Amino acid sequence: MGSIKFFASVLMVGLFAIAIVTFATQFGNDNSSAILLSDDEQLNTLNNEINSTITTWHSSVNDTGTTFFSTTQDQGDQSATSGGQFKSGINGALSMATKAMTSGYNKIFGSDGGFGIFLTGLTGILLFMLVAYGWKYWKGNPD
């Protein structure tokens, strides 16, 4: 997966999370449901945080877009070397994706760390496989 593909995927994760949470919340409001997703503090916080990130990102992208057309350079000026125009929004997209991931994980597995036992075992297996593959690469088949 290339960097552009990864960035687009991360962005889509955030937008998908917004779409799902907003739809579920609005469904409850529109139909006067007895059970409302807006009563769920964790997912409600996630929705607000991602919306805030999107709002900030929107203005940031607008400002960055303006610099492409408004900036002028005279003869002899040093060209911009920071590449700041191309960094706009990356932190925002990563933030949205990680927030969605964290909230989803905590909602499914809980936040008390009890599920960490499973993850520790899984990580151990993955590390073992990594070492085994490394050994296979250098010394041949580990079986």
Partner 1 sequence: MANVYTMPNLTGGIDTNIVQIVAQVPQFTIGLLVFVFGVIFIGGISTQKVRTGYADVPMWSVMASISTLMIALLMTIKAGWIDGVTLGVVVAVTIMSGLWLFLSRGRGEF
Minimum gap (Å) between residue 70 Cβ and partner 1:
33
Nearest to partner 1 of 49, 64 (CB atom): 49
Cα 54 from Cα 17, distance rounded (Å): 12
Minimum gap (Å) between residue 114 Cβ and partner 1:
16
* Distances from the Cα of 136 to the Cα of 128, 131, 143, angstroms: 12, 8, 9
Minimum gap (Å) between residue 83 Cβ and partner 1:
23
Please give the structure tokens belonging to residue 89: 């929004």
Site for partner 1 in 78-117 (CB under 8 A): 97, 100-101, 103-105, 107-108
The answer to whether 13 and 97 are in contact (CB under 8 A) is: yes
The answer to whether 96 and 53 are in contact (CB under 8 A) is: yes
Q: Interface with partner 1 by CB under 8 A: which residues?
A: 1-2, 5-6, 9-10, 12-13, 16-17, 20-21, 24, 27-28, 31, 33-37, 39-40, 42-43, 97, 100-101, 103-105, 107-108
